[in-house]
């Protein structure tokens, strides 16, 4: 029972790490797109 409990906690920890890394990656990509002037036309094309 104890080992199963520890494994579940470890899985949750990894899930949190993956979510945090994904959030940072999405934030970085969003900032890169916003501050990249060449992608401006691409964004307008997507919206239009």
Mean pLDDT value across residues 22-32? 92
39 in Cβ contact with 33 (< 8 Å) = yes
pLDDT at 42 over 70: no
CA distance 13 to 3: 15
- Locate the domains of the chain by residue range: 23-48
- pLDDT score recorded for residue 24: 95
The DSSP code sequence of 21-35 is: HHHHHHHHHHHHHHH
pLDDT classification of 33: cutoffs 50, 70, 90: confident
- pLDDT score recorded for residue 16: 96
């Amino acid at each position: 029972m104890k080992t199963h409990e520890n494994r579940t906690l470890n899985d949750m920890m990894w899930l949190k790490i993956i979510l945090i890394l994904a959030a940072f990656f999405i934030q970085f990509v969003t900032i890169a797109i916003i501050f990249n002037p060449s992608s401006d036309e691409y964004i307008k094309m997507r919206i239009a």
